[in-house]
Amino acid sequence: MSTEGRARKRIAVLGSTGSIGLQTLDVVRRHSDELEIVALAANTSVAKVVGQAHEFKVSNIAFGDESLRENPMLAQAHGGVSVGFGQQGLLDLVRLDEVDVVVNALVGAAGMRASYETLACGKQLALANKESLVVAGDLIMPLAARVDAARVERGIAPQVGPAGALMPIDSEHGAIYQCLLGERHEEVSALWVTASGGPFRGMTRADLAGMTAKQALAHPTWKMGPKITIDSSTLMNKGLEVIEAHHLFAMDYDKIKVVVQPQSAIHSMVEFSDGSVKAHLGTTDMRIPIQFALSYPDRWEAPVEPLDFTRLGSLEFYPADTETFRCLALARHAGSTGGTLPCVMNAANEVAVAAFLDDACGYLDIDACVEHAMELHEKQGVQRVESLDQLDEVDAWARGVSREFIAAK
């Protein structure tokens, strides 16, 4: 597609050295006539970010780790590069006048404030950071609505479909987003979020007790970062996605269902009041939802080989086993309760997953830790979400409680 008479979208990629960030850069390489990288950020990977800055001729980079200020490798960045550090450095990238779209691929709660600031600045957010909506959806979705309204007023919103202020970078939510295009919200009877089932599908609690991080990281269909891969194995990832879907699509929790689809060919489905079901199918490659988030409302040439239906074989469907994989039920309870409980759940899960990856706790200690923190918080009283600072305080409390729980194991 020609961009004659139209400027390229200028993108800041937060988390540029992770799985989503690297695939975003690949999409930009394939569509350099449409897209331009103008800012890059990562937590600690100095050499990789400097290399990316050289390739894309980027003038603004940032690192979440404050201790990197004196890193000698930063001297290798080409002349005129501005380097920021810590939370402030990340937010300064988001606020740059030359940034049109922020791809937030930061891992964990660290990305929440960047999402908020992106929309507060009136910019488009391509969101891969689950915690932004899980923890702060009550704050972020009203901001997105405000940016949507501004995009409509300025005449830059699509003539048909959502205005596009917040585009999900996620195979499941990207699929639902596309299935809902042109449909009436009141005619939706269910959103079906699909799950691969992870590497431990079909196992019992007794089977899971001795599982190692290496085994949990062996995902059967998707290649992802370590934290999200562990979340996939526990089904916490599906729990987070249920909460995200509630916020993204303004859907009641009783209308959001999870089904295991081991082939990962169906990325999610929407069921309508007349019994019709729309399913989004495609190759298991994250570049497809990344590209759609950046191209919307247009569709560009596929970044991967399309799905060959003649070789697909059978499609299987199973109910999610919430008795064995308890994180899904815990997340659904947190989301349904609302307020600050999802923040506590998310923080506890991050602490427990990090401990499991460091061999500091067992596999089943993950859901036990999450449940422990949630129960304590509910006894103290769940709060209404009012600010990011409040969420930071709740997050810190939950992490402290969770570390104590893990240390006692």
The answer to whether 171 is a known ligand-binding residue is: yes
Report the C-alpha gap between 228 and 244 in whole angstroms: 15
The answer to whether 232 is a known ligand-binding residue is: yes
Q: Which amino acid is at 352?
A: A
The answer to whether 400 is a known ligand-binding residue is: no
The answer to whether 185 is a known ligand-binding residue is: no
The answer to whether 118 is a known ligand-binding residue is: no
Closest Cα partner for 355 from 166, 194, 226, 171?
226
The answer to whether 71 is a known ligand-binding residue is: no
Contacts of 81 (CB under 8 A, 6+ apart): 53, 58, 59, 60, 61
The answer to whether 56 touches 37, Cβ cutoff 8 Å, is yes
Separation of CA 256 from chain center:
18
Please count the residues of the chain.
409
The answer to whether 196 is a known ligand-binding residue is: yes
The answer to whether 170 is a known ligand-binding residue is: yes
CA-atom Rg of the chain in angstroms: 21
The answer to whether 244 is a known ligand-binding residue is: no
The answer to whether 409 is a known ligand-binding residue is: no
The answer to whether 172 is a known ligand-binding residue is: yes
Cβ neighbourhood burial of 226 (10 Å; 0-12, 13-18, 19+): middle
The answer to whether 379 is a known ligand-binding residue is: no
CA angle 261, 265, 267 (to 5 degrees): 75
The answer to whether 204 touches 324, Cβ cutoff 8 Å, is yes
The answer to whether 131 is a known ligand-binding residue is: yes
Cβ neighbourhood burial of 210 (10 Å; 0-12, 13-18, 19+): exposed
The answer to whether 129 is a known ligand-binding residue is: yes
Annotated binding site for 1-deoxy-D-xylulose 5-phosphate: 130, 171-172, 196, 219, 232, 237-238, 241
Binding site as annotated, residues for NADPH? 17-20, 129, 131, 225
Binding positions for Mn(2+) are: 170, 172, 241
Residue positions forming the annotated binding site: 17-20, 129-131, 170-172, 196, 219, 225, 232, 237-238, 241
